[in-house]
Structure 1
């Protein structure tokens, strides 16, 4: 179903964003 595919896409997008945020936080800590 299309709805299922969209939900999976949103879930993977959220995972990617969370990973990016984690990387940014790590870099900020290293800079300080």
Structure 2
């Protein structure tokens, strides 16, 4: 993930990716 400097508003894409990462972190991995 690209580093976002403090005080810099995240882009919509970054917010979406962060949300997606949070969801996948709660789910068991499907690989293997």
The normalised TM-score by structure 2 is 0.51
Task: Count how many residue pairs are aligned between Structure 1 and Structure 2.
Answer: 20
Normalized per residue, which structure has more helix? 1
Structure 1: state its 5+ residue gaps.
1-11
Structure 2: state its 5+ residue gaps.
1-8
The normalised TM-score by structure 1 is 0.51
Q: 3-state SS of the aligned residue for 1:22?
A: helix
Which portions of structure 1, spanning 4 or more consecutive aligned residues, are displaced by more than 2 angstroms? none
Q: Which has the larger radius of gyration?
A: 1
